[in-house]
Structure 1
Amino acid sequence: MRTGRILGVTAMLATLGAVVGSVLGIVAIAFIALVRRGEPGLRDLPELLPAAAMFGALVGAVLGPVSAWTLMRHVPIWKAIAGTAAGTTIGVVVGYSLGSLFRLAFP
Structure 2
Amino acid sequence: MVFRVIEGGLAIAAPADTACEQPSREDVEHEAERRLRAINYQMWERREAVVGISMPREIKYLAMQVIFAAQAIASLRRIPQDFQADFYWPALDELLAVRTGP
TM-score, normalization: structure 1? 0.30
Give the structure with higher Rg (CA).
2
TM-score (norm 2): 0.31
